[in-house]
Amino acid sequence: MNNTTRFITLNGMGIALFAVLTLCLQVPVFENYYLCLGYVVMMVYCYKYGAASGAIAGSLGVILYCVLTSGLRGMPGWTLGNLAIGIVCGIVFTRVKEIKSSWARRGIMALTIIVMTAVGILGIKSLTECLLYAQPMLVRAAKNSCAFVADVVVMIVSIPVCEMLDKRVYDE
């Protein structure tokens, strides 16, 4: 299989897995927010395959999820936020893989997740929704703070999953 076919196939599976986990495994945590388990897929792709694949799985996975559920209202902001999260986490994750200390590696990954989820969800998603729906930025950021907390928890908990799958998934 050539590299282009492999890339397209691999990322198509990531998009589908993100949407399926987001649709099928909804664990409620706040008023109408739930743990988005699609973020596990996004983080695994960031760690295993890098920034492009992580960003593709996260942003296009959101679009697929929204199209399937007719929930297009939050899609632009969520997509752009995931794009930023995927790019930066993918870059950082691939660079820290070589750090011998698991505590240091995981700490850097967790800090990156927290910072980028704040940028992506509280910043980019909130600003996009503020501009599209003419709502005050502070109101949007406050509403998105629940999603921020839920998303950070899922992404940080996925760090050991990333490391385990990286060692066990065979690459050609």
Q: What is the CATH number of the domain that holds 10?
A: 1.10.1760.20
Question: For 71-89, how does the pLDDT look when each residue is reduced to its tens digit (9 = 90+)?
Answer: 777 689 999 999 999 999 9
Q: Which domain holds residue 147?
A: 3-168
Q: Is the pLDDT of residue 172 over 60?
A: no
Report angle CA 145, 122, 127 to the nearest 5 degrees: 130
What is the overall mean pLDDT for the chain? 90
- Could you tell me which residues are beta bridge partners of residue 26? 36
Distances (CA, A) of 140 to 82, 93, 98, 146, 164: 17, 29, 38, 11, 36
Q: Is the pLDDT of residue 169 over 80?
A: no
In angstroms, the first-to-last Cα distance of the chain is: 10
Question: For 2-57, how does the pLDDT look when each residue is reduced to its tens digit (9 = 90+)?
Answer: 888 889 999 999 999 999 998 887 777 776 677 889 999 999 999 999 999 999 99
- pTM of the complete model: 0.91
CA distance 119 to 81: 7
Contact yes or no for 49/97 (Cβ under 8 A): no
Compute and round to an integer the Cα radius of gyration of the chain: 16
What confidence score (pLDDT) does residue 167 get?
78
Tally of domains in the chain? 1
User: pLDDT higher for 145 or 30?
Assistant: 145
